[in-house]
Amino acid sequence: MRDIFEDIFAKPPADPTEVARRSLRTPARARFYREAQVGERLREAAGEGDCGFPILLDGRPVRTPARQVLAAPVRTLAERIAGEWDAQRDTIDPVAMPLTRLANAIIDGVMAAPQPVAAEIEKYLGSDLLFYRASAPDGLLALQRRHWDPVLAWARDVLGARFVLAEGVMHVRQPDEAIAAAARAIPRGEDARELWRLGALNVVTSLTGSALLALALDAGALTPEQGWTAAHVDEDWNMKTWGRDEQALQRRAFRLAEFEAAATVLALLR
């Protein structure tokens, strides 16, 4: 079974056009199991570490491409992942399994080296999307204020982080104390729940260009819909002004599935 997971769950590219090309080059894998289930929590006494609730295919544990047990820290999350496997029909389509792909990335990557992941999120706090405002037109400025200012107010009031706004794209240095205050909200623990949160936060940050949107989503200060809308204020304005960009919309649809998977992880671990 190892070659199957190494093959079909290699991380797909972010460009949906390339995803389609790859799907034509890679033979589809037939569904080889009858049912997907969630097993009992695995603990160190079982020789697998305290890795959570495993996903089982016909009673056998699924393993990640790096041969780790595919397991989630809470049963509700494991059930959602198992649901992706159950939803496959004649063939297994990894593009339709964003939670499974995210789980693989967290288990094989984040758990092995969480510090660089946390550092990457913190780096975004120095040049967050929400800091850079347009100079015109007034309609775009109003949308930026409507969707971004409440998040900055939350960061100020809840995290104690006061950031500086800039007009245009020229870099503005943020106060060290503001970055440090917001960075304290980034998960740093070693238990599975914290590491899964860290991995999900990293995905939201990279997809939106905003660590503050990711942290607000994690805290429940934003809904996923609000966070996704806030991340696309500029893009939506440009398409409203200049017309739809079908390639951009295709890329967004693929990224939305990744975002929703990460948002699901954060909600179920809150």
Predicted model pTM: 0.88
Task: Check residue 76 and give left, alpha or beta (phi > 0: left; psi -120 to 50: alpha).
Answer: alpha
Q: What's the pLDDT score for residue 169?
A: 81
Q: What's the pLDDT score for residue 27?
A: 61
Q: What's the pLDDT score for residue 21?
A: 42
226 or 29: whose pLDDT is higher?
Answer: 226
Q: What's the pLDDT score for residue 24?
A: 40
Per-residue confidence band for 246, with pLDDT thresholds at 50, 70 and 90? confident
Alpha helices in the chain (DSSP H): 2-8, 16-25, 75-87, 98-105, 114-124, 138-154, 176-183, 192-208, 211-219, 224-231, 233-242, 246-269
All structural domains of the chain, each given as residue ranges with its CATH number in brackets, are 2-109 (3.30.2180.10), 114-269 (1.10.3580.10)
Q: Which amino acid is at 180?
A: A
For 127-167, how does the pLDDT look when each residue is reduced to its tens digit (9 = 90+)? 999 999 999 999 999 999 999 999 999 999 999 999 999 99
For 182-239, how does the pLDDT look when each residue is reduced to its tens digit (9 = 90+)? 999 999 988 999 999 999 999 999 999 999 999 999 999 999 999 999 999 999 999 9
